[in-house]
Amino acid sequence: MSDPITRPGVAAPRDGADPTGTSERPASATERGIGRLGDRKKARLDELARASADKGGVSLVRDAFRRLRRNPVAMFGAAIVAVFVLVAIFAPLLAPHDPAQRFDELTKNLTVDSIPGASSDFPLGSDPLGRDFLSRLIYGSRQTLFVGVFATLIGLALGALIGAVAGAFGGWVDNILMRLTDVMLALPALLLAISLVAMASRSSQWTVILAVAIVNVPIFARLLRGSMLAQRESDHVLAARALGVKQRSIVLRHMLPNAMTAVIVQATLTLSTAILEAASLSFLGLGDPDINRAEWGLMLGVDGVRYFEVRPELAYYPALAIIVVALGFTLLGEGMRDAIDPKNRR
Amino acid sequence: MTERTGPLVELRDVKVHFPIKSGVFIDRTVGYVYAVDGVSLSINKGETYGLVGESGCGKSTLGRGLLRLVEPTAGEIVFDGTDIRSLKGESMRRARRRMQMIFQDPLSSLDPRQSVESLLVEGLKAHGLAGDKAATTKKLREALAAVGLPASALSKYPHEFSGGQRQRIGIARALVLDPDLIVADEPVSALDVSIQAQVLNLLEDLQNERGLTYLIIAHDLAVVRHIADTVGVMYLGGLVEEASSDDLYREPMHPYTKALMSAVPVPDPVVEDRRERILLAGDLPSPTNPPAGCRFHTRCPWAQPTRCAEERPALREVLSGHRVACHYAEDIAAGRIRPHEVEPELVRPDEGAAPGDPGELIPTL
Amino acid sequence: MSLLDVRDLSVVFQRRGEQSFTAVDKVSFSVEPGQTVGLVGESGCGKSVTSLAIMGLLPRRGNKVTGGVLFDGTDLLQLRPNDMRDRRGRDIGMIFQDPLSSLNPVVPIGVQVAEVLERHRGMDRKAALKEARELLDAVGIPDPNRRLKEYPHQISGGMRQRALIAIALACKPRLLIADEPTTALDVTIQAQILTLLKQLVDETGTALIMITHDLGVVAGLCDTVNVLYGGKVVERAARHELFARPRHPYTHGLLNSVPRLDSPRGEPLHAIRGSVADNIPWAEGCAFAPRCNNVVDACLEGTPPLESTATGGDLRCNNPVSEEVAVP
């Protein structure tokens, strides 16, 4: 048996002793044979060396992105996320009806122990108030995306700020900030979120967003601070100091960008937990009080649970939607983490 | 070789002690790691000074202390007539242009997110030398050419190069600033054997062309002997012997140097079969709690009952240009003292700071 | 019959979505009882993969191992995983580069040695601990009684490597494979460990495969040396022969490029150009050709076969360094 010896590095199609190659140039009898072939290969070797030398560089991010694209699991996650985002954006076009409108043909069939099921006009039937269930489900994606993205962004911004300050200054600043985040981390996430929502005088969707964001602040802060400290001790930061680079540009150009990679991956993973946490709050009745607004957690928690005996689909569909979307973000985040990890680079 | 004039760098009794801290809220100093404990040496212009020693002997810390990448605890560092330790903030940062560093691990010392161009240009910018674009690009190309890399490397990223090429980038980064002194900390030990020679040759060529002064820090005695004019041997934070490379090899006088030399394997079976090994008993004692007296006396096959355990020997000139820190250097050389068995003493790794751990880096900008 | 006979051992890494990569390509060598055989090469030459393949320690997924590894007549590659596990430790011991990560951090040293004895030699805990004490003593660990109860992080790197050797030797294996056993250690500690290994080979008659990148380590220890490049054996010779008259341009170049403690100063080193990553982009051809000073056209056409030399070694080269050219 003979396996082709291919090594990482220059990859090129195999160039055997094919007759077409020799016929490209006028072949005289003396030129033929091993020596001739050797010359040709040598020429190709030089050509390849030149080609690889002229090629522009591939940055770390592009390299990671390339690896991400080769990871089918991550791509599956990305596909879920893409579909979810598209549905949220084009919800008005996709939804057959207005999610807040109560339809007479549905309400008239509504009784305590019967909720109208699927019909040609309403593919998933009615909700307990006689509204189109499918439309509410589609519009619910908007609400979920909105809450998830804002909660994550606010959490990321606050956490990154705290982490960066702690990591850049170190010493007692670091000590105080980190003890504060420790206190926040010590409280169970959901309990903290519930207390924060309960503290608000009037709950709106922003109280949910803020509560979920604040729950995530210490996670981001710790993460960024940890990787900033690791960067501080790293050789390339020491090298920059040896070069005489100013402290400010060391922090901004070397420490922060390198430390942020881990945080951005975490943010993708946090999107899924933020969606789950927001849904949990709605489920517990601490969410948005506006009953007309479609929200998956609310649909699951209020209608789904109350009418589970009557029409379990009311619980199944929102639950499935939450699980699939959270899974999508998790798979994508894990894939990103693997792609960025330098150990996987080859 | 360039002509040699007076010393470019002088270290006088330099000490670097790292505090060992413990405590939950308020850090309390519970002890010190005596990483560098009183080293004096001078490096002449255009010369290569090689610093050898095993891990934990403080050689890397000394190199970083010299550049004030870690803050020395005591002592004087005179670079071209100025006491570096007296420089503050901005003037220290400016002074860094003239003394550059090459690191052991070429990958970790290059910021992975920056292209070679931005890596090289960074030093120029920091010192206001990156004026107009054309001149800067020319400078970068020259630096790359000097280390044997094509100009096309500028747009690439560190991870796209092999180990040897990365080390060349690290050298180019130091060269761009046109320094006088280069401190190279284990410049070849992370490289493949066949690549080491390329980098060592490059360092020598650059010195000949530009009259650079080197402080080369390495654990490999053969590498140091090859490249250095003067060699200093360190053991547990102190210099135990210093001589010209040839003298040191011909006649190592300190017992530790003798043992170190006999331990280096030579790729020649004829030599290997004949040579006698001085095997040291036990391990390097902890730098947090170095032995009293001569630091080496716990492992020294020539240790004597008097003086060795009580009095720390000073580095003194035993032969011309050959300094040794041993009370009995002459007696050992003359064969009046014979080596004896040494009972290995147990050494425990430290709980907190591991030997060789540079400890917390104190920003000195 | 040889104790170990490796025949045409090949290891191909096959990862999903990537080109397969031949890490070890038809490597053959044999080890006689009591003999020390060196596998020398730089990173990526396949020396460690070879040892892992012999020990059956390569993950089954993603790797294709072919050829034969005959230990005392049995092909280890054909053994079932359970039988192979029995062989490891009992017949073949292994020492790794990093002693800290190869020892279990939460189990005392003595128990780690004793466990091997219990498993492979059916001893009870008490007898095993007694034997473990003697083993620690034999590998030169001071005060072995107390060391028995200590954990790996409480002893130094050199002592950990000694403890690892004690574990490898626990069942008096007939073959010991040492993969860069001294690379992580200081020179003076390296000298201690090498002396210990040499002593053990002399006293117990165990055969030793020494895997290293350091030619100096090989020079003092090995009877036969295999030089690997690009997954293939490029030169094999007896110790003295190899160092006195290296025939393969790679071996020759390697010996010329390392600075020696006893060579005169001031001359530039004869470096090998390029790096291990340089290779020709087609399957045939000598892997060293892009870096070789002696390259001829035939080198780019196909890999030369491994042929016996007049001096009893083997050589894979079209245009070897002439025997007269000695190492300076």
pLDDT computed for residue A26 by the predictor: 36
Closest chain B residue to the Cα of C254, Cα to Cα:
B194
Asked whether the beta carbons of residue A342 and residue B159 sit closer than 8 angstroms, the reply is: yes
Say which residue the tokens 């109560």 belong to: A102
List CB contacts (< 8 A) between B110 and chain A: 236, 239
Closest chain C residue to the Cα of A36, Cα to Cα:
C297
Residue scoring higher pLDDT (A207 or B244): B244
Q: What is the ipTM of this complex?
A: 0.85
What predicted TM-score, i.e. pTM, was given to this entire model? 0.81
pLDDT in tens, C302-313: 888 898 988 888
What is the average per-residue pLDDT within A144-160? 90
Closest chain C residue to the Cα of B48, Cα to Cα:
C266
* Interface check A243 vs B, CB under 8 A: yes
Return the H-helix or E-strand segment holding A39.
helix A34-54
pLDDT in tens, C204-255: 889 999 999 988 899 988 999 999 998 899 999 999 999 988 999 999 999 8
Closest chain B residue to the Cα of C153, Cα to Cα:
B349
How big is chain B, counted in residues? 365
Q: What is the DSSP letter of A114?
A: B
pLDDT in tens, B322-358: 999 999 999 999 888 888 877 776 666 654 334 333 3
CA distance A263 to A224: 6
Q: How far is C193 from chain B (nearest CA, A)?
A: 10
- With 80 as the cut, is the pLDDT of residue C277 above it? no
List CB contacts (< 8 A) between A232 and chain B: 361
Characterize the bridge pairing of strands B48-52 and B230-235.
parallel
pLDDT computed for residue C18 by the predictor: 67
List CB contacts (< 8 A) between A35 and chain C: 297
User: Least CB-CB distance to B193: which of C142, C239, C258?
Assistant: C258
pLDDT in tens, A56-85: 566 777 778 888 888 888 899 999 999 999
CA distance A130 to A111: 10
Task: Identify whether the C-beta of residue B176 lies closer than 8 Å to the C-beta of residue B144.
Answer: no
B231 to each of B262, B263, C93, how far by Cα in Å?
16, 17, 41
List CB contacts (< 8 A) between B123 and chain A: 243-245
- With 80 as the cut, is the pLDDT of residue B51 above it? yes
Closest residue by Cα to residue B144 from B162, B128, B121:
B121
pLDDT in tens, A217-264: 998 999 898 888 888 888 889 999 898 888 888 888 888 888 888 888
- Chains near B, with 3+ CB pairs < 8 A? A, C
* Interface check A180 vs B, CB under 8 A: no
Q: How far is B95 from chain C (nearest CA, A)?
A: 32
Confidence band, pLDDT 50/70/90 cuts, at residue C293:
confident
Mutate: best of C300, C303, C316, partner A, most A CBs <10 A: C300
B110 to each of A16, B117, B365, C35, how far by Cα in Å?
40, 12, 20, 45
What is the average per-residue pLDDT within C282-301? 81
pLDDT in tens, C117-158: 888 888 888 899 998 998 888 888 888 888 888 888 888 888
Q: How many contacts does A have with B, using Cβ atoms within 8 A?
A: 98
Closest chain C residue to the Cα of B277, Cα to Cα:
C191
Asked whether the beta carbons of residue A258 and residue B113 sit closer than 8 angstroms, the reply is: yes
Task: Identify whether the C-beta of residue C275 lies closer than 8 Å to the C-beta of residue C294.
Answer: no
Tell me which range, A333-342, B342-351, C272-281, is most confidently predicted by mean pLDDT: A333-342
Characterize the bridge pairing of strands C21-31 and C4-13.
antiparallel
Q: What are phi and psi of B238, to 5 degrees?
A: -130, 155
Neighbours of C283 (CB within 10 A): 16
CA distance B42 to B10: 4
Confidence band, pLDDT 50/70/90 cuts, at residue B242:
very high
Residue scoring higher pLDDT (B281 or B352): B281
Asked whether the beta carbons of residue B265 and residue C195 sit closer than 8 angstroms, the reply is: no
List CB contacts (< 8 A) between C159 and chain B: 283
- With 80 as the cut, is the pLDDT of residue C53 above it? yes
pLDDT computed for residue B26 by the predictor: 66
pLDDT computed for residue B40 by the predictor: 94
